[in-house]
Amino acid sequence: MFITSSKNPKDPSNPRTVFYLANTLKDMKRYAEAIPLYEQRSLMDNGWWVERDYAVYMLCKCYLGLEDLSNARKYGELAARISKRAEPLYDLVYYLHHNELYTLAWYYYTLASQIPKPAVKETLFIVGDIYAFWLDFEKATLSRHIFPDQPILALTAGVSFLNNMYAPQYLREYFYREAWVESIIKCLRSTVTYHHYHASQPDIFWHSVLNNSAETECRYSTSGESDRRISADNVKDTIEKLVSITSLSERLQGSAPFNRQFCQGNMRSAY
């Protein structure tokens, strides 16, 4: 362990010593002890600048561990600003989402989503999965709470996430079962959702969903029966058509169609 390593004595003037001692305490969940060391490292002019900026981010993590949201926001915003990184903002999104502070979580999501993944040569400690799919996951799951009267937004965000080729299968399977079916049924039943559905051509509905082309109220039309609302029974078949149509999937980030087959092995809970 770093604390007891003879090669790294507890030299308070050595920035690397301070940095790794703080990391050790943080990993042991001794956040209150790690905070002053991260503060010390963030103020040191000598040493590696990447460690200094990362120390500010770790202050955000420590305060989240202590459930001190005020200070966590302070250091998370500062870390994102000085390092131009999305990770601190994502941590805030995750914490706020879990604590049902949806509006504030969405605010930080919008900020984080505008930050591109840094070039590997420029910095270290990059959490690539955040840029690849976790922010998309947050958008898809938060949309239901942020736009309750506009379920089409949650629906399209869900479509995008389900077809994100970087998202692992277990996570897409989780999202499909736990969140998206509910969103799509709400969307199809909603009086404020405007898309035309033809029983003989179900793909037309999904093309309009993907294009966000709102025209007519969502209705179910058949010969002899017109303007009948779509029921939950119709939704099941429609969902299957969406996730199995290659042409639609190719329009979403060029990824392969989402596979609903249950993933083998342990599937960890995303939430």
**Once rounded to an integer, what is the mean pLDDT over residues 138-154?**
83
Calpha distance 197→193 (Å, rounded):
12
Structural element, H or E, at residue 98: helix 87-98
Range of 105-114, 184-193, 261-270 with top mean pLDDT: 105-114
Closest-CA residue to 152 (of 109, 206, 113, 107)? 206
Phi, psi for residue 196 in degrees, rounded to 5:
-90, 140
Listed as own residue / partner, the contacts of 43-46 with beta carbons closer than 8 Å and 24 or more positions apart are 44/15, 44/18, 46/15
Pick the residue with more confidence: 208 or 115?
115
pLDDT of residue 132: 94
Q: Is the per-residue pLDDT at 76 higher than 80?
A: yes
**What pTM value is reported for the model?**
0.68
Closest-CA residue to 27 (of 3, 52, 56, 10)? 3
Q: Which domains, ranges and CATH numbers included, belong to the chain?
A: 2-126 (1.25.40.10), 135-250 (no CATH)
Angle between helices 135-146 and 87-98 (to 10 degrees): 40
pLDDT of residue 153: 77
**Once rounded to an integer, what is the mean pLDDT over residues 30-56?**
87
DSSP 29: T
85-124 confidence digits (pLDDT tens):
999 999 999 999 999 999 999 999 999 999 998 876 656 7
Which of the four pLDDT bands, split at 50, 70 and 90, describes residue 163? confident
